[in-house]
Amino acid sequence: MASKFDYLRRNLYAMAELCLEQILIFDDAIEKENPDLAKQIIERDDLIDNLEKQNDNLSQNAILEAIANRNLLGMDQVDIEVVLKKDPLRFALSAIRINRNLERMGDQIVNCATCYRRGLLPKGFFRQEEILDKMMSRVVTLVGMAVESLVEEKNRFYGSVHTVEEELNNLCNGAFLKFVMDSRLDKNQFADLYRIILGIERTGDYAVNIAEELVRLNTGMDIRHLADPVQITENAKTSSH
């Protein structure tokens, strides 16, 4: 018989994969200059929102179940490494944070699709500008890393997400500075482009949040807001071998 944790895992995986599909569809919409694909993203957002509600309720119920069963499972008397990877209470608490980040990620992609669908940007603008193409490539990579780590239940990419995040942030900042005074764009066109750049950057932020939460869930190490998370996580990997 499936437990609340089984349903929660399944729903989180489904939600994460939907988010990945959304960013891939947006990338495809830009590549093909197809506003109908952007419309598809907006219409599919209800699927993510419905899963977010289900997961929120499941997480709360799972926490209550985990607290009740934690001692029965012997989680108070086992090795710390086992607790990190097997404690249902830790998983349920992490699920709440992951669920929230996935829902917000979906919202940001919808914001991007909504601006793109307005059709104000010049034809071929995204395909002509290398910085925008690179920006899309990095955000797809970040979301893919987060989703793969979640589905495999591993802190697989450790500090590498921060390297890609830094690249994405630099590209987004560079794009803003490049286009803020671009004579090809009127104020409405730039406003839509800026909203897309901001949405892409925030999508990457939420993907990183998920990857960081998976590191904490699997290792107990909190790598948020560290000066050099890449080096710290590399050191942790080395010392564990």
Q: Which residues contact 37 (CB under 8 A, 6 or more apart)?
A: 25, 26, 28, 29
Q: Are 126 and 26 in contact (CB under 8 A)?
A: no
Average pLDDT for consecutive 10-residue bins of the chain (241 residues)?
Answer: 74 95 96 94 96 91 73 49 59 89 97 96 91 96 92 69 93 97 94 98 96 80 59 51 47
Distance CA 75, CA 84 (A): 10
Distance CA 239, CA 27 (A): 39
Query: What's the structural domain count of the chain?
Result: 1
CATH of the domain at 15: 1.20.58.220
Q: Are 15 and 46 in contact (CB under 8 A)?
A: no
Domain of residue 152 covers 4-239
The pLDDT value given to residue 94: 87
Residue identified by tokens 């209800």 is 46
The pTM of this model reads 0.84
The pLDDT value given to residue 22: 97
The pLDDT value given to residue 222: 63
Q: Are 33 and 123 in contact (CB under 8 A)?
A: yes
